[in-house]
Amino acid sequence: MHTLNDVQEAFAAAILYDRPGRLSPHVASVTLAAERRIRIYRNHFTISLTECLAVTFPVLKALVGENYFNQCARRFAADYPPPSPVLFEYGEAFPRFLAEMTRSENFAYLADVGAFEWAINRAYHADDADPMRPQALLSAVEERRDEFIFHLHPSASLVASDYPILDIWRANQAVQSDGSPDTVIDLARGGIRLLVWRHGGDVVWQRLGTAEAAFVAVLLGRSPLDRACVTALAEDPQFQPVAMLADLIESKVLAGFSLASDPTER
Amino acid sequence: MIAVSPIASPAFEARAPKAIALKAGIGLRAKHHAEIVASRPGVGWFEIHAENYMGGGPPLHYLDSVRALYPVAVHGVGLSLASANGIDSHHLQRLARLVERVEPMIVSEHLAWTSLPDQRLYLNDLMPLPYTEQALDAVAANIDRVQTTLRRPILIENPSLYLTYADSPISEPDFLAALAYRTGCGILCDVNNIYVSCTNVGGDPFDYLERVPSHAVGEVHLAGHCVKDIDGVPLLIDDHGSRVAPAVWSLYERASMLFPEAQTLIEWDTDIPDLAVLVAEAAEADYCRGLVTGACDAHVK
């Protein structure tokens, strides 16, 4: 006698690996063979997750074309199926997967463009959080710099690339009717570092210099302000930590802070 | 087929929310958010897919705006109530947080499994289960856990079937009835799914409807399906991508007689049309139910 667990393990193998052999003896096959019935579920799994990835990565799809995108997405779904039913959280690893399938130096920018699309998706759906009140800092004005740990808004992330990914992304917002974008982009134009976050209801981004990006990266890792300053100043001795912090507060990128000795967010 | 007889008296009676049926509701879709808040269409209520609102940002903001104007029902697709090894605690907690925020008129889920939660694996489809005593125990335990966590009864929806199991001795409506008896859950009767399943795996949809315990039905779903030819056999695919089929409207007329207090929802999830098309389908459901119950005006708020 088979158990419910046996059936579900066999069903998962049929969907993920196209191996219906263990499941089909359990399936009633009146009018239509068991394998054909099982395939309906496998097809739905593959098609629905391909569509899900296409919604999150429209520019990646425009760049590589629908056929190739779908081919990569189908393999990704089988190799890395979703861990949870919240599908707007699915696909972070897809751009890297697609880039690795596409083993060509000429397309090295694909993973970075996808990472930017992921940052936009992430920022849109991230949990809400009130921005930091600058007055809250007054309560901790006596504290040392190595005590401060600033918290970025849950929507904030950093995307860095050696390629002009923002230009590529913009050029693919308006795809021409013949499928070709309306601009030619010189990949040698240089790299970019972008801070992406949600401001009110809108996903926004800001270009950062190397020192600024290094500063934000340390804050994103929840390391103390002191470390962020040292890291940024190593990139650029002219870096202005106070001006940078004021800018992050003004842009509502900061959600609060805690102290190394007291993890309560203020 | 064997009938499932009650073994012990239930903890509480199956009680679907009993109220005068509202005008029919429609599914809330992201592309209609702003238009709904601006134009306030004349539908009775909205239903959300729980998993689309488990983050923050604009989706939750619009949900709050819609909730301020209409009753809202929360319809989960990812709890996997029929998983053999229990349900995902983390996902249940996220659902509980959403339910606390929305204070929905109804919370519902499916008689299906979608995940192997112990393997952190979600298969993004509503897979069928063999209707056995063992499965009944497993599903009842999962429903009990959900209802205890949410501190309210939920409705369980019959799925669209593309296959059944060789060893599945309990009929689907009897299985649902047994769940309602054991756990006090209600039933979400999807008449399109009944039609799709009966076509795909056999059975008479009207007979099915008569077997559903009417006192437990709190909601009825209506949706479109498409027909696919597979090896010369026509199979119905429950794609929620078109108008309700004429045969399903006929089934809905009978459902309106059997479950006069249940709420009605129009589902449309793929190739989502203009809001006006959904509102017109909801009005058609109101008209259809009004003809049957002879109380058309009573449903209009």
Query: What digits encode the pLDDT tens for the residues A45-102?
Result: 999 999 999 999 999 999 999 999 999 999 999 999 999 999 999 999 999 999 999 8
What number is the average pLDDT over the span B59-75?
97
- How far is the C-alpha of A91 from the C-alpha of A108, rounded, in Å? 19
Say whether A8 and B127 touch across the interface (CB within 8 A).
yes
The model's pLDDT over A88-144, given as tens digits with 9 standing for 90+, comes to 999 999 999 999 998 877 788 999 999 999 999 999 999 999 999 888 888 887 877
CATH of B25-293, one of 3.20.20.150, 3.40.1160.10, 3.40.50.1100, 1.10.238.10: 3.20.20.150
> Between residues 47 and 106 of chain A, which touch chain B (CB distance below 8 Å)?
48-49, 52, 81-89
A15 within a domain of the structure (yes/no): no
- Interface-testing mutation among B93, B110, B125, with chain A (most A C-beta atoms within 10 A): B125
Q: How confident is the model at residue B64 (pLDDT cuts 50, 70, 90)?
A: very high
Domain that holds residue A240: 128-266
Nearest residue to A196 (alpha-carbon basis) of A163, A157, A233? A157
ipTM over 0.90: yes
Closest-CA distance of chain B to residue A6, Å: 9
Is it the case that residue B5 has pLDDT exceeding 80? no
A44 within a domain of the structure (yes/no): no
- One-letter identity of residue A225: L
**How many CB contacts within 8 angstroms connect chain A with chain B?**
139
From chain A, the residues in CB contact with B86 under 8 A are none
- How far is the C-alpha of B256 from the C-alpha of B82, rounded, in Å? 28
Cβ–Cβ < 8 Å for B66, B105 = no
Q: Say whether residue B301 is in contact with chain A using an 8 A CB cutoff.
A: no
Q: Say whether residue B90 is in contact with chain A using an 8 A CB cutoff.
A: yes
The model's pLDDT over A207-235, given as tens digits with 9 standing for 90+, comes to 999 999 999 999 999 999 999 999 999 99
- How far is the C-alpha of B146 from the C-alpha of B108, rounded, in Å? 11
Closest-CA distance of chain A to residue B153, Å: 22
The pLDDT value given to residue A140: 81
From chain A, the residues in CB contact with B162 under 8 A are 37, 40-41
Say whether A85 and B162 touch across the interface (CB within 8 A).
no
Q: Say whether residue A237 is in contact with chain B using an 8 A CB cutoff.
A: no
The model's pLDDT over A186-213, given as tens digits with 9 standing for 90+, comes to 888 889 999 999 998 999 999 999 999 9
The pLDDT value given to residue A6: 94
Nearest residue to B24 (alpha-carbon basis) of B211, B215, B288, B226? B288
A220 within a domain of the structure (yes/no): yes
A90 within a domain of the structure (yes/no): no
Q: How confident is the model at residue B288 (pLDDT cuts 50, 70, 90)?
A: very high
Nearest residue to B173 (alpha-carbon basis) of B149, B206, B142, B146? B206
Q: Say whether residue A13 is in contact with chain B using an 8 A CB cutoff.
A: no
A84 within a domain of the structure (yes/no): no
Is it the case that residue A157 has pLDDT exceeding 80? yes
- How far is the C-alpha of B45 from the C-alpha of A254, rounded, in Å? 38
- One-letter identity of residue A35: E
Residue A28 burial (C-beta neighbours within 10 Å; 0-12, 13-18, 19+): middle
Q: How confident is the model at residue B291 (pLDDT cuts 50, 70, 90)?
A: confident
Give a three-class secondary structure readout of A16-37: HHCCHHHCHHHEECCCCCHHHH
- How far is the C-alpha of A112 from the C-alpha of A115, rounded, in Å? 5
- How far is the C-alpha of B109 from the C-alpha of B149, rounded, in Å? 14
A159 within a domain of the structure (yes/no): yes
> Between residues 12 and 31 of chain B, which touch chain A (CB distance below 8 Å)?
none
User: Least CB-CB distance to B54: which of A11, A44, A86?
Assistant: A86
| DSSP class per residue in A203-252 | EEEEE--HHHHHHHHHHHTT--HHHHHHHHHHH-TT--HHHHHHHHHHTT
Q: Look at chain A and report how many structural domains it folds into.
A: 1
Say whether A125 and B59 touch across the interface (CB within 8 A).
yes
Q: Say whether residue A36 is in contact with chain B using an 8 A CB cutoff.
A: yes
The pLDDT value given to residue B8: 43
Q: pTM above the 0.90 mark?
A: yes
- Residues B92, B93, B97, B98, Cα dihedral to 10°: -30
